[in-house]
Structure 1
Amino acid sequence: MAATHSHTFDEFVSEADAVPTDGWDFSWFEGRATEARPSWGYARAMGERLGRASAALDVQTGGGEVLNSAPRLPGLTVATEGWAPNVAKATRLLHPRGVVVVASPEDAPLPFADGAFDLVTSRHPVRADWVEIARVLRPGGTYFAQHVGPSSAYELVEHFTGPLPEESHNARHPDRERAGAEAAGLEIVDLRAERLRMEFFDIGAVVHFLKKVVWMVPGFTVDAYLPQLRSLHERIESEGPFVAHSSRHLFEARKPVS
């Protein structure tokens, strides 16, 4: 249900522009935006696998919220994160549970020994480095993750950027990721994809979303995109919620024993 905010454009934008963007807590969107969830229930399924693992790595953990949702964590659990505010937030959240949080750039090799983990997890990694994932997995170990798929929320993105080249629509395609995983020596156990409805009820939700999910419109600032924001605000006010569609896929891959 749409929120019944009676803000002006400037009030919506100012309010959203001031909200902190660290971590992966999306509670601020309550009543302002919705996104359908994939049918497979990633956090629950991740928690089940963590409960059976002996040594686990969560890659690009954000603020640690998803990892922390697991009822039980292995005795050895490590998380990596590249953005300093998220490193601090994840450390505060996860250290009490015995998790070691390692500051590691997203494009750097994983700072761990070969075969260090029997489970590697990740929710919405910027990019899956298949060679590194395969390297740090033990033989018989599993990579279990939820990825952002192709053309995710492009209805919204292209409002700000204009039409994107066809190649960008094919980026993150599950078939490409399957090929990358297999080239690194991993066996695909499960790969499922879904496209899910998103609704933005006010322009403040759009501003906060684009500031939080920074790769959607790189370099986004309110000032840089003021005309697009105003036109979208007017559209929402006159037509109702702006609808887009996110793209998600579930990935489970296994490192062969031999």
Structure 2
Amino acid sequence: MDVRPRAFEDLVAEGVAVPTEGWDFSWFEGRASEERPSWGYARSMAERLAGTTAALDIQTGGGEVLGFALDTLADADADAADNADPRPLLTAATEGWPPNVAKATALLRPHGVAVVASEEDAPLPFADAAFDLVVSRHPVRAHWHEIARVLRPGGTYFAQHVGPSSVYELVEHFVGTQPDATRNARHPDRERAAAEAAGLDVVELRAERLRVEFYDIAAVVHFLRKVIWMVPDFSVEKYEDRLRALHKRIESEGPFAAHSTRHLFDARKPVT
């Protein structure tokens, strides 16, 4: 078996060729790894969805996390002695990137989910107090006043957010040391204050720092193409020198280690 290191050009070409739509990260298996938060967001989401009347998933991506949660509930329904369907009577999702809208629609339509094309910074296209549960996994930005507006009194926002300086060891390899204001833009204390300013009560806020490893430069290229806000102007051509340097480092030292940050929000709209 040929165990020689693969050429930089071949690995980069492979990373460029992988489609980027959706939030399915299965391609990274064997090429990168990331610790998962202890709270298990997708399964926790399924538990929150059970028995909910109306639910909204904001920035659903390709619908993978919501689809997993609804599949989990469907399996629970099949196993239940009373056959009571625990899924929400109404479920909607928003997404702004057209390729993801198409992917999410195909994935979630069998579950009866209405996927609405909506830009991430636009007002949510729903009436006031339309939902008793709003969920989101890794929103680009939480628009707290809109979240509070569409929640019914007593309703819940249950979400997993990307935290401050997430995977910044990798980011700063490409763009240099970032100012504190940029590094701390997603700090959970700031987001708590914003949620409370919008009229929500933060019931629980948990944060964790998790190890990430990249085993080859193809994984780095695909990651930066997929998670576009990490290095917004990323292209192989622009950052070829930094990519080559990181490729040599991985070959000589082993996987490149970074750390992701995540926080779990459980916030509720007061009953007035």
Please give the TM-score of this superposition, normalised by the length of structure 1: 0.98
Distance 2:233 2:90 in 1: 37
Q: Over residues 87-130 of structure 1, what are the superposed CA-to-partner deviations in whole Å (9 max), with x where a residue is unaligned? A: 00000000011000000000000000000000000000000000
Which residues of 2 match residues 181-192 of structure 1 at below 5 A? 181-192=195-206
Distance 2:62 2:183 in 1: 28
Which residues of 2 match residues 14-93 of structure 1 at below 5 A? 14-70=13-69, 71-72=72-73, 73-93=87-107
Superposed CA RMSD in Å reads 0.9
Specify whether residues 5 and 168 from structure 1 end up closer, same or farther in structure 2 by C-alpha distance, changes over 3 A only: farther
Q: What's the CA shift for 1:169?
A: 1.2
Q: Which residue of 2 aligns with 1:110?
A: 124
Q: Secondary structure at the match of 2:248?
A: helix
Q: Which residue of 2 aligns with 1:255?
A: 269
Q: Secondary structure at the match of 1:52?
A: coil
Distance 2:207 2:241 in 1: 34
Q: What's the CA shift for 1:225?
A: 0.5
Which residues of 2 match residues 101-250 of structure 1 at below 5 A? 101-250=115-264
Residue identity in the other structure for 2:108: L
Q: What's the CA shift for 1:5?
A: 7.8
Q: Which residue of 1 aligns with 2:80?
A: none
Distance 1:166 1:66 in 2: 32
Residue identity in the other structure for 1:23: G
Q: What's the CA shift for 1:6?
A: 3.4
Q: Secondary structure at the match of 1:105?
A: coil
Q: Secondary structure at the match of 2:109?
A: helix
Distance 1:132 1:123 in 2: 16
Distance 1:108 1:135 in 2: 14
Give the greater-gyration-radius structure (CA): 2
Residue identity in the other structure for 1:44: R
Distance 2:172 2:198 in 1: 33
Distance 1:199 1:86 in 2: 26
Q: Secondary structure at the match of 1:69?
A: helix
Q: What's the CA shift for 1:75?
A: 1.6
Distance 1:15 1:181 in 2: 41
Distance 2:157 2:180 in 1: 29
Give the length in aligned residue pairs.
255
Specify whether residues 246 and 5 from structure 1 end up closer, same or farther in structure 2 by C-alpha distance, changes over 3 A only: farther
Q: Secondary structure at the match of 2:50?
A: helix
Q: Secondary structure at the match of 1:245?
A: strand
Q: Over residues 192-226 of structure 1, what are the superposed CA-to-partner deviations in whole Å (9 max), with x where a residue is unaligned? A: 00000000000000000000000000021111100
Any unmatched runs of 5+ in structure 1? Answer: none
Q: Which runs of 4+ in 1 moved over 3 A?
A: none
Q: What's the CA shift for 1:139?
A: 0.2
From 87, 97, 110, give the equivalent of 2:111: 97
Distance 2:51 2:175 in 1: 44
Q: Secondary structure at the match of 1:94?
A: helix
